Structure 1
Amino acid sequence: MLQQHPHEPSQLTAQEFEEAVKAVESMTLEQMQRLGMFEMFGNTNPQARQQTVELVHWLDQQVTEELIQQYIELAKRGNYTAMMALSCSTSKLH
């Protein structure tokens, strides 16, 4: 996985971030499946489960104060996905 994904995430501008969110929002489940977005999560293979744990850990590390602020700004502008992400993350804290 580390060969496929660099250690340092690329820095997206606010516009690039919004465009990426819109692209994912407009995808159907079938399109996501064709891109392999779910191949690790339903797998019973122990190696795939370990890779899933590592991926979730890596993703958790990507949530920075700057990223949260970007979501807040998007939510203020009416972005439903950002609102839901913020809502889900704050409900997990309580």
Structure 2
Amino acid sequence: MKPLSATAGSRPVIHGSLGFDQLRDRLAAGLPEEFAALPAGLDLSIAEGAEDRTTDTVERVTGRTDGAPRRAGRCTSRSPNATLR
């Protein structure tokens, strides 16, 4: 897969996939290696489909079965108590 790239101000930002060893080694630069292996292992499991599942929760809560999202309202206030219009 081709890495995604963008800029943040004048600095380039590139997002690419890392394998288990690469991620573990990068995390181990600031963490003990034994601990760095834990999130790297979780990332690998997720990449291999460990969290690839769906439920019927949205259908049960919304009553919608067509999968089409509803258009969200537009919030015109920055207040945390604002309502959608």
TM range (shorter): under 0.3
Pick the structure with more strand per residue. 2
Between the two structures, name the one with larger relative contact order (CA 8 Å, sep ≥ 6). 1
Pick the structure with more helix per residue. 1
TM-score for both structures, normalised by structure 1: 0.26
Bigger Rg, structure 1 or 2: 2
